[in-house]
Amino acid sequence: MVVCEFPECTTFGSVIRFALELEKGAAGVCEELAKEPKMGPAAEIFRALAESHKKRGTAIEDMRQQKLNEMILEPIQDMHRENYLISTEYPKGADAKTAGRFAAKIEETSAKFYADAARIAKPLMSEGSRLLDKLSKESLANKAKLEAL
Amino acid sequence: MALLTEVQKNYGKLKNYVNGEWIDSTSDKVIDVENPSTTESIAKVPMSTVDETKAAIEAAQEAWWAWRETPPIARARFFFKLKELMEQHFENIARIMVQEQGKTIDEARGETRRTIENVEVAAGIPSLMMGYSLEDGAAEGIDEEAIMSPLGVFGAICPFNFPAMIPYWFWPYAVATGNTYILKPSSQVPLTQWYLTKIVEQAGFPPGVMNLVNGSHEVSDTLMEHPLVKGVSFVGSSPVAKYIYKKSSENGKRVQAQGGAKNSLVVMPDAVMDRTVSNMLASYYGCAGQRCLAGSNMIAIGDIADPLLNRWVEASKRIRMGYGLDESVNMGPVVSAKAKKKVLEYIDGAQKQGAKILLDGRNAKVPGYEKGYFIGPTVIDGVTPDMTIAKEEVFGPVVSFMRMKNMDEAIDFMHKSPFGNAASIYTQNGKWARDFRYRVQCGNIGINVGIVAAMAYFPFAGYKDSFFGTLHGQGKDAISFFTDRKVVITRWF
């Protein structure tokens, strides 16, 4: 099982850390699900999703390094950690349908997290907000794909 | 949430970097570098001697002419390399800063970015230091041109609050324009520059071009007195800035000496409450109030005072304190026991003078860091213009809340201050904003912005006792400070 450590979302850095943990969790779960014996052709979808989540993590780290500006370091006081927690205890021995539903739940939570983060970032950092918004939309698309398995 | 890993637990005794080599100081005076969150000693820094400083100046002078003859585009390449290396070391730079200064990792990352931005701007030196010319400028057939020429050796004496960025307001521009440099970091926070200088070394700058000398007044005085030093940059308190300006000027040097501040943020009745409160939190509590651009007085105009104060106190209570390597922390400690004592004395004094402490950070404790120099967000109501806390620089997370009838009263109050570093107004009214920026005598004006920190390509300094000198740090001012204009008039027979 992938172990994620989700912080309280009280600062820009902790929101980014939360996002990185989400991506790590999602990538890890997809990697493991791809290896499940009953996965069949869906294994390729999970492998591709795992790769995509790793790339998303890199994009988020780049944003942290390139876009953070001292002037916009306002405390974040209205994002609550418990609203965005995901489970990475994936169902061992699952078939594609069960695995798809499990991973779709992660994508649904991620989509909500990124949508809220994008809203908060928008007045402070529009380019960062666009990336977060894009990730939210991607997660929704991933969810639909997984639910169709 | 687990802490981010420290780059090293302990960094040992720091060396100076002179003429391309890391050299042990022979001084028997060595002081501890303390982590203000844990109070543990994390390094030892030598108080280098006068002779060691002179040796660095002489090495810089020796390196100067060859460096001056290096074409600007070739000099710029060292800065491109340096930028790349700084990006690779980005996270380590930020984490070391947290360890020695106490700021949060977000603040340290933001500062690292701003440090790199100065390198990026300095890398544009071929364009920035172009002179100008005029055909037939002197007379028919006689052309005239002005060339920007470097001068020789410059030095900087730096403060504790921005261990990475402030030295980079100066030295990249000095070196890019063809000068050589001696940097003296604050002895309270020498580690960040020690680490950055290792990166400078990796970037391959020729020996003697950039030198790092740790120490205290022996180093500073030598920089201000030595005949080979052409100019001195300084950031710190106003009394010291004034001393540096006077002493360096007497010795015929160029000087830019940035001093203290007492910044007021004025909230007009039409301010957008949510955004204003959120933005001001960063101004008053960011870097634990130890920015020269930090908000200190909060002036509420008219009937917004009570609702603003209520919202402010509630938001302030939610500021999370701790060791800055925890990414969820909003505010770290102040830098030292001495700094904490001074801030607490200001709060005590305000209480004695009749102000009311609405939120009291004096006894703040952070679990696991009980010895750390933490002061919680403190909100003081009923502050009047005659109180000490309304007039003097506190340099801690303390808000002096004041009520005034109108903007005129607020501006009159600000103009009585000897300081003129920054002031901000929060309003949606363009006329008020325009009047404020036109009338207020400060070097940095914010309109719905609480931290008026000039970017690398703009000049930074204050007015009045917040700055002694003419040319500011950063931007085009930096190019002018580190060069002289040489006029050439040419006629061919």
Task: Taking residues A88-112, report their average pLDDT.
Answer: 95
Chain-chain contact of A10 with B329 (C-beta, under 8 angstroms)? yes
Q: pLDDT for B458-482, tens place per residue?
A: 999 999 999 999 999 999 999 999 9
Query: Do residue A75 and residue B318 have CB atoms under 8 angstroms apart?
Result: yes
**With 80 as the cut, is the pLDDT of residue B440 above it?**
yes
> Which whole number is the average pLDDT over B22-46?
98
E strands present in B60-191: 132-139, 142-150, 153-157, 180-184
Full DSSP string of B417-472: SSEESEEEEE-S-HHHHHHHHHH---SEEEES-S-----TTS-B--EETTEEESS-
Does B442 qualify as catalytic in the annotation? no
Confidence of residue A75 (pLDDT cuts 50, 70, 90): confident
Q: Nearest residue on chain B to A16, judged by CA atoms? A: B327
> Across the A/B interface, how many CB contacts are shorter than 8 Å?
83
Query: Residue B489 is inside which H or E element, if any?
Result: strand B483-490
- What is the pLDDT at residue A124? 80
Cβ–Cβ gap B328/A9 under 8 Å = yes
Q: Which of A11, A73, A74 is nearest residue B327 as measured by Cβ atoms?
A: A11
The structural domains of chain B, with segments of one domain joined by +, span 16-259+467-490, 263-447
Selecting from B87, B113, B315 the residue whose C-beta is nearest the C-beta of A69 gives B113
> pLDDT digit string (tens) for B108-117?
999 999 999 9
pLDDT at A126: 83
Nearest-CA residue of chain A relative to B282?
A74
Look at residues A140, A125, A139, A137 and name the one whose alpha carbon lies nearest to residue A63.
Answer: A125
Domain B16-259+467-490, what fold? Aldehyde Dehydrogenase; Chain A, domain 1 (3.40.605)
B139, B122 contact by CB (below 8 A) = no
- Structural tokens at position B434: 């325009």
Q: Predicted confidence band at B15 (pLDDT cuts at 50, 70, 90)?
A: very high
Query: How near does any CA of chain B get to the CA of A142, in Å?
Result: 29
Report whether pLDDT(A73) > 90. Answer: no
Residue whose tokens read 């844990």: B38
Q: How many CB atoms within 10 Å of residue B215?
A: 26
Of B111, B326, B330, Cβ closest to residue A75: B330
Judge whether residue B297 has pLDDT over 80.
yes
Helix or strand (DSSP H, E) at A20: helix A12-35
Residue type present at position B411: I
Give the per-residue pLDDT at B1.
66
Q: How far are the Cα atoms of B141, B144, B188, B343 from residue B493, in angstroms, in the given order?
A: 9, 16, 62, 71
- Report pLDDT digits (tens) over B197-243: 999 999 999 999 999 999 999 999 999 999 999 999 999 999 999 99
Q: How far apart are CA B270 and CA B427, in angstroms?
A: 6
| CA atoms of A104 and A89, how far apart (whole Å) | 14
Q: Fold for domain B263-447?
A: Aldehyde Dehydrogenase; Chain A, domain 2 (3.40.309)
| Residues of chain B positioned with their CB less than 8 A from the CB of A5 | 1-2
- A32-64: buried (b, 16+ CB within 10 Å) or exposed (e) per residue? bbbebeebeebbebbbebbebbbebbeebeebb
- Decide if B328 contacts A8 (C-beta within 8 A): yes
So what's the pLDDT on residue B66? Answer: 98
Question: Looking at chain B from residue 8 to 47, which residues have their Cβ under 8 Å from any Cβ of chain A?
Answer: none
What are the phi and psi torsion angles at A24 (to 5°)? -60, -45
CA distance B162 to B86: 16
From A8, A70, A73, residue closest to B328, measured CB to CB: A8
User: Does residue A71 carry a pLDDT above 80?
Assistant: no
Is residue B279 less than 8 Å (CB to CB) from chain A? yes
pLDDT at A127: 84
At the fourth CATH level, which superfamily is domain A12-67+83-147?
Ferritin, core subunit, four-helix bundle (1.20.1260.10)
The separation between CA B300 and the C-alpha centre of its own chain, rounded to angstroms, equals: 28
Give the model's pLDDT for residue A72. 67
Residue from A75, A115, A69, A86 nearest A3 by CA? A86
B106 CA to chain A: closest CA distance, Å?
6
- pLDDT bracket for residue B27 (50, 70, 90): very high
Residue A41 in tokens: 């052709």
Residue range B238-260, pLDDT digits in tens: 999 999 999 999 999 999 999 99
Q: Is B111 on the interface with A (CB under 8 A)?
A: yes
Q: pLDDT class for A2, splitting at 50, 70, 90? A: confident
> Could you tell me where the beta strands, DSSP code E, fall in B311-443?
356-359, 378-381, 398-404, 419-420, 422-426
- B263 Rama class: left (phi>0) / alpha (psi -120 to 50) / beta: beta
Does any CB of chain A come closer than 8 Å to the CB of residue B319? yes
Q: Is the pLDDT of residue B132 over 80?
A: yes
Output DSSP code: residue A90: -
H or E element: which one contains B212? strand B210-212
Mean pLDDT of A111-140: 93
pLDDT tens-place string over residues B317-329: 999 999 999 999 9
pLDDT tens-place string over residues B174-183: 999 999 999 9
A68 interaction partners in chain B (CB closer than 8 Å) = 106, 109-110, 113
Q: Which residues of B touch A17 (CB under 8 A)?
A: 1, 327-328
Identified catalytic residue from B158, B287, B292, B442 = B292
State mean pLDDT over A83-106.
95
Cβ contact B213:B52 at 8 Å: yes
Average pLDDT over residues B139-148: 98
Q: Is the pLDDT of residue A69 over 90?
A: no
Contact B488, B142 (CB under 8 A): no
pLDDT, mean of residues A79-100:
94
Percentage, residues of chain B above pLDDT 70 = 100
Q: Over pLDDT 90: what percentage of chain B?
A: 100
Compare all CA atoms of chain A with the CA of B3 and give the residue at the minimum distance.
A7
Q: Do B318 and A17 touch (CB under 8 A)?
A: no
Q: Indicate the residue of A12, A17, A77 with minimum beta-carbon distance to B318.
A: A77
Query: Once rounded to an integer, what is the mean pLDDT over residues A70-90?
Result: 87
DSSP class of residue B473 equals: B
pLDDT at A30 over 80: yes
**Tokens 């006629």 label which residue?**
B491
Distance of alpha carbon B482 from alpha carbon B255, whole angstroms: 10
Q: What is the pLDDT of residue A70?
A: 66
Inform me whether the C-beta atom of residue B329 falls under 8 Å from chain A C-beta atoms: yes
| Residue pLDDT, tens place only, B380-425 | 999 999 999 999 999 999 999 999 999 999 999 999 999 999 999 9
